[in-house]
Structure 1
Amino acid sequence: MISIFIVFAIFILFYVNKMTSSLCIQKEIPEERQHKVFRTINVLVTILLISSYLEILYT
């Protein structure tokens, strides 16, 4: 079960980063701010994935 979830999580993180990159290009966010946007989104998505894994694990 954990291996399936890890593959799913990697796919989700990759796709979210791809969408974040498109957002930065579309909104013309400066290079110096892009790393903050990526870091914030990646941290929030990681928290979401960990909480969903724990919910699945203990349900």
Structure 2
Amino acid sequence: MISIFIIFAVFILYNINRLTFSLCLQKEIPEEKQPKVYRTINVLITILLISSFVEIAFT
């Protein structure tokens, strides 16, 4: 179960980063602000994935 969830999480993070890249291009976010945008989105998605795993694993 853990390996399936890890594969799923990597797939989700990859797609979210692609969408973030598209957002940065479309909204013309300056280069110096892009790392902060990526970091914020990645941290929030990681928290969401961890809480989802905990909920699935312990229920």
TM-score between both structures, scaled by the size of structure 2: 1.00
Query: Unmatched 5+ residue regions in structure 2?
Result: none
Separation (CA, whole Å) in 1 of partners of 2:29 and 2:43: 19
Query: Unmatched 5+ residue regions in structure 1?
Result: none
| Residue in 1 that maps onto 2:46 | 46
Q: How many residues align?
A: 59
Runs of 4+ aligned residues of structure 1 deviating over 4 Å after TM superposition are none
CA RMSD in angstroms, aligned pairs only: 0.2
Identity fraction in percent: 71
TM-score between both structures, scaled by the size of structure 1: 1.00
The answer to whether 1:37 aligns with 2:37 is: yes
Separation (CA, whole Å) in 2 of partners of 1:22 and 1:57: 33
Deviation digits for residues 30-54 of structure 1, max 9, x if unmatched? 0000000000000000000000000
Letter paired with 2:35:
H
Higher helix share: 1
| Residue in 2 that maps onto 1:26 | 26
